[in-house]
Amino acid sequence: MTNTPTVGWIGLGAMGAPMATVTARAGHQVTAFDLNPEVLDSLRPTVSSALSAREAATGVDVVVIMVATGPQLEAVLFGEDGISDVLSPDTTVLIMSTVGPAAVESAAIALAPITQRVVDAPVSGGVLRAGQGDLLVMVGGAHEHIDAVRPLLDAMSSNHPVVGQAPGDGQKFKIVNQLLCGVHIAAAGEALALADSMGLDVTQCHEVLNGGAAQSFMFQDRGSRMVAEEFHEARSALNIFVKDMGLVTDAARKAEQPVPLASAAEQLYVRGRREGFGLHDDSVVYQLLRTRQS
């Protein structure tokens, strides 16, 4: 494999599109597929378009998969139009989705007769940082396989630590990451809702507390959207945390580890989806929690 591996990219959602773009701008030939033709059109000519996932995956050095769920990962690989039969023993499959350890471990086992070059690399950092190539990537896999995709990781991230030697290890780190993120967003919404209910100026509360020990990335980032009530344009949809907190609590049950804060946060996100806010920004938890004087 050359130092500039050719890339087939599958999945151009809120994170996938900017990640594919920065990878192409770093000098890599990227051919992408997504079920939404409009996003494919929007990335031309920086990113080339394929008519199917199989076309995108054919003859490339690396296939990057950036879909939303474990069932979607399985469908991309082994579904009716899956890519598995166009892969070769030299193809590296770079799974950057957050789908949980079990899904990636199962995929690696099923791919083993075709290619053993599977790298597990979920990401954290949000859409803005994705567009700047400034993500954190938590990487699991064999060193020689990671070395093959390192130029892509360099393009997409400012930090890509190797956290384990097997596919699934990156997902385990991402589970811990999402526990913290999900709880911090819920805590930010709860705190600002309390401030609102006590008659405080929530904007001032947000500004003042960001200068002290209560500060966190999520309180700063999501809190700013909470006080501005910028819920409708989803930079990070609430549905993502419905999925991800489910992965957290599933992993905790398998490890027999109590996660009471994560479980409470999960129920808040599930409530938000039930009330029709699944496609809203996840900062909408503030709207769900605050009370209004009659």
| Residues forming the active site | 174
Give the C-alpha separation, 63 to 65, whole Å: 6
Give the C-alpha separation, 38 to 171, whole Å: 30
Give the C-alpha separation, 100 to 96, whole Å: 11
State residue 152's pLDDT score: 98
State residue 294's pLDDT score: 42
CB of 106 within 8 A of CB of 77? Answer: no
Q: Is the pTM of the predicted complex or chain greater than 0.85?
A: yes
State residue 284's pLDDT score: 97
Name the helix (H) or strand (E) containing 159: strand 157-159
CA distances from 139 to 156, 170, 256 (A): 13, 5, 25
CB of 136 within 8 A of CB of 215? Answer: no
State residue 2's pLDDT score: 53
Average pLDDT for consecutive 10-residue bins of the chain (294 residues)? 84 96 97 96 96 97 97 96 96 97 97 98 93 97 97 97 97 98 98 96 97 96 95 89 97 97 98 96 95 52
CB of 8 within 8 A of CB of 58? Answer: yes
State residue 234's pLDDT score: 83
Domains (ranges, CATH) in the chain? 7-166 (3.40.50.720), 172-289 (1.10.1040.10)
